Amino acid sequence: MVVKGDAKSQKTAAYLKTLIKDIYDDKNPDKIITIGGDGTFLKAVHLYESILDKVDFFVFNTGHLGYFSNFDIDSINDLLTKINSDSYQCSEFNLLEYKIQTGSNTISGIALNEVTIINPTRTLMLDVFLNNQLLEHFRGTGICISTPAGSTGYNKSLGGAVVDSSLEAFQVTEIASINSRIHHTLSSPLLLSKKHEVEFKAEDPTCIWITADSKSLTIENFQSLAIILSDRKVKFVRNDISFIERLKKNFI
């Protein structure tokens, strides 16, 4: 279990623990229940990054947005039945894989929602490559690269498209790009298939910020960031809420 610190989430966790038959194993779980909101689910995904192929997530919402949630107080018995009988089906979410190159270091990782590259105080200057071909010289605040599951997160606030999570695609969305007589970028959100790798290279080594979901990294001497849609996936216990219902429930 990965549980948010508030009283309601803690109480729900204590209650569920008394009724779940599985042996509790924090180190090598095959089922993970997250109790809280989307932030708690994202935290759990990163906590168990190395064993994602082996675990099924039950996402219990205790009163946050909970876009990812498939259980709440009204369906707590359904959760218990599914977990105790081991009879449930899973949907899968695609992940992004990123690789950061600095002058002295390589840092890699995964993201379920998005990776962003940002400089909030100075104009970020990047050369953007698709499969090693130069697309544009970007000038602006930043760039957001999101999965279909993450398309309703930060990407949506940037005017990116909402994408059905059964599509094997990822999206590149600009954050306040400069477009003038001198500087040009594509300006539209760009939806790419799995065949593509997108790479951002610093024109000069600089300090920038990179986020992967709720995680944030300060990168000194940044050289490049490469991103692909990963073969690795997050397995998420399915419920009867359709994609359309999920959109209506959370946004309309």
174 contributes a contact to ligand NAP by CB under 6 A: no
149 contributes a contact to ligand NAP by CB under 6 A: yes
Among 56, 114, 174, 199, indicate the residue that binds ligand NAP (CB under 6 A): 114
Closest separation between CB of residue 58 and Mn ion, Å? 18
107 contributes a contact to Mn ion by CB under 5 A: no
38 contributes a contact to ligand NAP by CB under 6 A: yes
Binders of Mn ion among residues 15 to 54 (CB under 5 A) are: 37, 39
Is 38 marked active-site? yes
Q: Which two tokens stand for residue 21?
A: 């038959």
Q: What is the rounded (10 degree) CA torsion for 45, 47, 50, 53?
A: -30
Sequence-separated contacts (24+) of 65-69 with Cβ below 8 Å: 65/37, 65/38, 65/250, 66/37, 66/38, 67/38, 67/152, 67/153, 67/246, 67/250, 68/38, 68/41, 68/149, 68/236, 69/37, 69/38, 69/41
Output the CA–CA distances (angstroms, integers) from residue 244 to 55, 75, 121, in the order listed.
26, 20, 38
6 contributes a contact to Mn ion by CB under 5 A: no
Q: Which of 53, 59, 46, 48 is nearest to 3 (CA)?
A: 59
Contact segment (CB under 6 A) with ligand NAP among 34-42, 50-58, 86-94, 125-133 equals 34-42
Closest separation between CB of residue 132 and ligand NAP, Å? 28
Closest separation between CB of residue 154 and ligand NAP, Å? 4
CB-based contacts of 120: which residues, under 8 Å, 6+ apart? 141, 142, 209
113 contributes a contact to ligand NAP by CB under 6 A: yes
Q: What are phi and psi of 163, to 5 degrees?
A: -120, 135
1 contacts which partner out of Mn ion, ligand NAP, none, CB within 5 to 8 A by kind?
A: none
Closest separation between CB of residue 156 and Mn ion, Å? 15
Closest separation between CB of residue 112 and ligand NAP, Å? 8
The 3-class secondary structure across 66-111, one letter per residue, is CCCCCECHHHHHHHHHHHHHCCCCEEEEEEEEEEEEECCCEEEEEE
140 contributes a contact to ligand NAP by CB under 6 A: no
Catalytic residue from among 38, 53, 56, 164: 38
| 8 Å CB contact between 210 and 219 | yes
Contact segment (CB under 6 A) with ligand NAP among 18-26, 31-39, 128-136, 221-229 equals 31-39
Binders of ligand NAP among residues 51 to 70 (CB under 6 A) are: 64-67
Catalytic residues: 38
Residues lying near ligand NAP in the complex (CB under 6 A): 37-39, 42, 64-67, 113-114, 149-150, 152-154, 157, 213-214
